[in-house]
Amino acid sequence: MALNRVPLLLSLNGGYVDTAGFLALHGLFTTHVTGNFVTFGASLAHGASGAVAKLLALPVFCLVVVLTQFLSVVMQKRGRRAFRLLLAVKALLLVGAAVLAIHCGPFPDGDAWQALVTGMILVSAMAMQNATHRLHLATAPPTTVMTMTVTQIMLDVGTLLHAAPDEKRAAAITRIRQMTPSAAAFALGCLAAAGLFIGTGMWVFVVPPILATVPALWTDTPG
């Protein structure tokens, strides 16, 4: 498989995990964690459960990003294939979250320890994906938060709609071709997770470890 397909799988998984976590864990965003500021305020206003998880998500995310960079540096110094190993760790985290969700869920209380642990494992996995992407696939489009991606696509569409210089039009077309598949894969992941959650409940979490394992096994991934 070509390396440029790896970000597509990561985007698919990003949208899937974010939607599955939001539906199963009382509105917890596991991928774009800053969204939890809004849902935390909503939880307080409505007296709903899950406020603790939303409060913990950002510090847990930040801690795992720092740890991921540390692990990457250590593994590269030892001549290990850091990219693959980090993706493998992420896959193991997703396996752990799936086991907990299926065994302990559904979660009537978003602040119960079972829901908290499941949510923070998912947040950790997505933090590792974000950090690994920035460290090893920095030139690829984002695979989690799509706001800036969609904004850039629309700006490039605007460039094509007016008489911009040829070089700007060519650059815009290149970016659209690069970014649109990532946004589409993320949206597809969201739709797939929603549909499977309706049909299977907590078994929705079986899919992310599978999606995470594939790029870790590809032979042409970077070190």
51-71 per-position pLDDT tens digit: 888 889 889 999 999 999 999
Q: Is residue 2 part of a domain?
A: no
Domain limits at 119?
Answer: 7-217
What integer pLDDT is reported at residue 47 of this predicted model?
65
Assess if residue 222 is contained within a domain.
no
CATH of the domain at 84: 1.20.1250
pLDDT at 5: 80
Task: With respect to residue 22, please indicate whether it lies within any of the assigned structural domains.
Answer: yes
Q: Is residue 223 part of a domain?
A: no
Give me the chain's average pLDDT, please: 88
Task: Judge whether 197 and 191 are in contact, CB under 8 Å.
Answer: no
CA distance 205 to 201: 9
Cβ contacts of 166 within 8 Å, gap of 6 or more: none
> Is 82 within a domain?
yes
109 close to 95: Cβ distance less than 8 angstroms: no
- Total domains, the chain: 1
Which pTM does this prediction carry?
0.89
- Outline where 137-165 has alpha helix (H): 147-161
Is residue 1 assigned to a domain?
A: no
Residue 14 falls within a domain, yes or no?
yes
Q: How confident is residue 149, by pLDDT bands cut at 50, 70 and 90?
A: confident
Asked whether residue 127 is domain-assigned, the answer is: yes
